[in-house]
A and B are shown apart, each in its own frame.
Chain A
Amino acid sequence: MESLIALGHGFAVALEPQSLLAVTVGVLIGMAVGVLPGLGPAATIAILLPLTYTLSPEAAIIMLAGIYYGSMYGGTITSVLLRLPGEAASVVTTFDGYPMARRGRAGAALGVSAVGSFVGGVVSVVGLIFLAPLLAKFALRFGPPEFAVLGVMGLLLVIYLGQGSPVKGIISAGIGLLVATVGFDLITGTARFTFGTTDLMGGLDFVAVVMGVYGVGEVLLSLEGSKTGSIIKTKLRELWPSRLEWKASAGPIARGTGIGFFFGLLPGGGGLIASIVSYGVEKKRAKDPSRFGKGAVEGVAGPETANNAGSTSAFIPMLVLGIPPNAVLALLFGALLVHGVVPGPQLVVDHPGIFWGVIASMVFGNLILLVLNFPLIGAFVQILRIRPALLAGFILVIALIGVYSLRNSLFDVWVMLAFGILGYLMRKTGFDPSPMVLAVVIGPIIEESVRQALLMGHGNATIFVTRPISGIIILLTVVIVAIGFLTRRRSKVRMAAAAAMREDVPEKEDQPTE
């Protein structure tokens, strides 16, 4: 009951003109960047972060959150029409979405995706409403050992459940943790890694680091133009799925919602893992699994629903525990800090307007995305016609002005440039920068908690295992890492099989675009 009253207050915040405008602009930008391969939600949030300084904290977070889940809808469009996943979580959609499009069922694939995403998103919001306050109350029992273990668990799971090599993931996270130590050590007052430079005394600015890695790094990659879009004339046929397709999609949408919600809660979770698991489940349940990879509507409905449900429930650990579960939410975490709001168990009590306002805005955001999806699909696909070099110029100038305006510091701009080079080199050498970005954000939380825990335990490091909650978290981490390792191996085999089947799709069938 208490939650529902607070939610009412959240709806009042979300219905304010500035909030409505923020959510609309956010989801539209999100949908646009979801379409563009390369420029993902993390890069966009990093680039647009400085633009939100003039907004209220509520409107700023509502807009940035809209970019995140809006990009999940946008990524579907190019996955289905062009087999170009605009963002990572849409990769699975290409397996059956594209073959459906080749059979002239592009509209049906996009329709099922939009409705599934809407259902997944809204049900997750409902879960968020009831679960988040309970978890917040429980999290009040957490002390430094629990937060230290949670932070390390978050990082480890991002590395193990992620796509790249775990060893490279650990290196990436290690660099991020070191970046977070630069500047004055708040406990002893010692300057670390500053080498006598006064500019480094206050530490490296998070926005400059992230904008460098994601903004400048991505732009440099896009300049090489490996993934340019071709000129497309879209004319979609039969935008609404048939009764049979609806019937086949109902189960996957329901299961995808549950799978997505659960995997979104896990550190390292979010849309990508949820969509992979959902695809595996649907294929396993199917009477004829050989249809998968050749245009099975269940292979689109389940993963797309799970993707959006997972992206929404991933807000719970970030808002309630103050531990962002993935790189995009680490950026939102940073955005909240920039606006003077500290995410964590006290957020619901200290800033109910932000907490409930963001949740309520997600209902409107999902509704806007559902309504706009169909009429704007054609227009959004045209975004791919923008040449990478043109886009790069505008992104670089926005990044430059944004970082400079943060503290009127030219040093921050050089920091951004340096991390742009690092981000570019990391991608070129096969390192995923996401663990690094996440580590930059949660590094100070982990370090402070570790040191406080050691002080609490009078130098006894067993405090991390002997306290019941932190002990259970460690045990859970071990179990999840083990399961993750096994499912990773199995999903690789499945994906390879699906890719092999995709190659077998007949060439002569109807084209969705003309």
Chain B
Amino acid sequence: MKTILAREHIIARSTALTVELFAIFVVLYSLFTLGIGTLRVPGSGLWPLLIGLTLAATGLVEFFSTSHSLAEDEGFTPQSWISVFGLISFGIVVAFLPITGLILPMLLASFFWFHVLGKEKVVVSVISAVLCSFGMYYLFVGILGVRLPSDLIGTLLI
């Protein structure tokens, strides 16, 4: 229990520190790069400066706050690795989109999501992956006429 609480405090403090550093950057950027002008003729940095100062103040309050209990969905668990792998695979799909088009990376990534991350049976995963890649491509490009980067497989279909 103590370990969990300590971990919650570390996460909360790190988050508050990140906010604080970000706020300091915003304040400095607004002051020296953008320029704040005057109240009579406000510069482009005045509004970001006000936001930066608010963030800096609230970041400090959050840093020194003592109650850091996280709700049901919050906090990192071993299950959070699933999200990390899901995110990386989605990033790979986006990276390959201009090279191979949508279908091939989506087919592979969705099979990975369904079978590996979702622990679905192979047959269910294959059918769902085909629907998720070929099916969605056909729906959006073939029927709805949405324009996507040229697709290695899609050009053979439509």
Identify whether the interface residues of B are mostly helix, strand, loop, or mixed. Answer: helix
B71 at the interface (CB under 8 A from A): yes
Report A-chain residues with C-beta under 8 Å of the C-beta of B55: 171, 174-175, 178
Q: With A390-B118, A430-B70 in contact, is A170–B42 under 8 Å at CB? A: no
B113 and A389 contact, CB distance less than 8 A = yes
Interface membership of chain A positions 219-230, coded 1 if the CB is closer than 8 angstroms to chain B and 0 otherwise: 111011110000
With the chains together, A450 CA to B140 CA distance in Å? 42
With the chains together, A414 CA to B43 CA distance in Å? 30
Report B-chain residues with C-beta under 8 Å of the C-beta of A394: 131-132, 136
Q: Which among A66-74, A369-377, A400-408 touches the partner chain?
A: A400-408
Q: With A174-B54, A181-B47, A427-B73 in contact, is A410–B94 under 8 Å at CB? A: yes
Interface membership of chain B positions 2-46, coded 1 if the CB is closer than 8 angstroms to chain A and 0 otherwise: 000000000110010001000100100100001100111111111
Q: With A393-B113, A454-B40 in contact, is A226–B87 under 8 Å at CB? A: no
B142 at the interface (CB under 8 A from A): no
Q: How near does chain B come to A418, taking the closest CB pair, in angstroms?
A: 10
Q: How near does chain A come to B33, taking the closest CB pair, in angstroms?
A: 9
Give which listed residue, B29, B58, B106, B120, contacts A174 with CB less than 8 A: B58
Report A-chain residues with C-beta under 8 Å of the C-beta of B68: 430
With A396-B113, A400-B94, A404-B97 already in contact, 18 other A-B pairs whose C-beta atoms are closer than 8 Å: A54-B144, A170-B58, A171-B58, A190-B34, A219-B86, A224-B77, A226-B72, A394-B136, A410-B97, A413-B94, A413-B97, A414-B94, A417-B91, A417-B94, A421-B87, A450-B47, A451-B42, A454-B42
A216 at the interface (CB under 8 A from B): yes
Give which listed residue, A216, A401, A431, contacts B136 with CB less than 8 A: A401
A246 at the interface (CB under 8 A from B): no
Report A-chain residues with C-beta under 8 Å of the C-beta of B153: none
Interface membership of chain A positions 443-484, coded 1 if the CB is closer than 8 angstroms to chain B and 0 otherwise: 000010011001100111100000000000000000000000
Interface size on B, residues (CB 8 A): 72
A390 and B80 contact, CB distance less than 8 A = no
Q: For A398, give the chain B residue with the smallest CB separation.
A: B136
Report B-chain residues with C-beta under 8 Å of the C-beta of A137: none
Q: Which residues of A contact B (CB under 8 A)?
A: 51, 54, 167-168, 170-171, 174-175, 177-178, 181, 185, 187-188, 190, 192-193, 216, 219-221, 223-226, 387-390, 392-394, 396-398, 400-401, 404-405, 408, 410, 413-414, 417, 420-421, 424, 427-431, 447, 450-451, 454-455, 458-461
Q: For A54, give the chain B residue with the smallest CB separation.
A: B144
Give which listed residue, B39, B79, B98, contacts A460 with CB less than 8 A: B39
Q: How near does chain A come to B5, taking the closest CB pair, in angstroms?
A: 14
29 contacts between A and B (CB under 8 A): A51-B144, A167-B62, A167-B65, A171-B58, A174-B23, A175-B55, A177-B47, A177-B51, A178-B48, A185-B44, A188-B44, A190-B43, A192-B48, A220-B87, A221-B83, A223-B117, A226-B72, A388-B118, A389-B114, A389-B119, A390-B128, A392-B113, A393-B129, A401-B140, A405-B148, A417-B90, A417-B94, A427-B74, A430-B12
Q: With A389-B117, A393-B128 in contact, is A178–B62 under 8 Å at CB? A: no
Q: For B94, give the chain A residue with the smallest CB separation.
A: A413
Interface membership of chain B positions 74-97, coded 1 if the CB is closer than 8 angstroms to chain A and 0 otherwise: 111101101100110011011001
A459 and B136 contact, CB distance less than 8 A = no
Q: How near does chain B come to A150, taking the closest CB pair, in angstroms?
A: 17
Q: With A401-B140, A414-B94, A428-B80 in contact, is A192–B34 under 8 Å at CB? A: yes
B79 and A225 contact, CB distance less than 8 A = yes
A178 and B91 contact, CB distance less than 8 A = no
Q: With A387-B118, A401-B148 in contact, is A167–B110 under 8 Å at CB? A: no
B118 and A220 contact, CB distance less than 8 A = no
The 6 closest A-B pairs by CB, nearest first: A389-B118, A459-B40, A459-B39, A185-B44, A190-B44, A220-B83
Q: How near does chain A come to B8, taking the closest CB pair, in angstroms?
A: 9
Report A-chain residues with C-beta under 8 Å of the C-beta of B87: 220, 417, 420-421, 424
Q: How near does chain A come to B28, taking the closest CB pair, in angstroms?
A: 13
With the chains together, A42 CA to B76 CA distance in Å? 24
B26 and A178 contact, CB distance less than 8 A = yes
With the chains together, A460 CA to B39 CA distance in Å? 7
Report B-chain residues with C-beta under 8 Å of the C-beta of A417: 87, 90-91, 94
Residue of A188, A390, A397, A401 with most partner-chain B CB within 10 A: A397
With the chains together, A188 CA to B114 CA distance in Å? 50
Interface residues of B in 89-146 (CB under 8 A from A): 90-91, 93-94, 97-98, 102, 106, 110, 113-114, 117-120, 124, 128-129, 131-133, 136, 140, 144, 146
A397 and B58 contact, CB distance less than 8 A = no
With the chains together, A488 CA to B94 CA distance in Å? 43
B40 and A458 contact, CB distance less than 8 A = yes
Report A-chain residues with C-beta under 8 Å of the C-beta of B70: 429-430
B44 and A224 contact, CB distance less than 8 A = no
Report B-chain residues with C-beta under 8 Å of the C-beta of A193: 29, 48
Report A-chain residues with C-beta under 8 Å of the C-beta of B59: 171
A408 and B147 contact, CB distance less than 8 A = yes
A397 and B132 contact, CB distance less than 8 A = yes
Q: For A392, give the chain B residue with the smallest CB separation.
A: B113
Q: How near does chain B come to A324, taking the closest CB pair, in angstroms?
A: 19
Q: How near does chain B come to A93, taking the closest CB pair, in angstroms?
A: 18
With the chains together, A57 CA to B54 CA distance in Å? 38
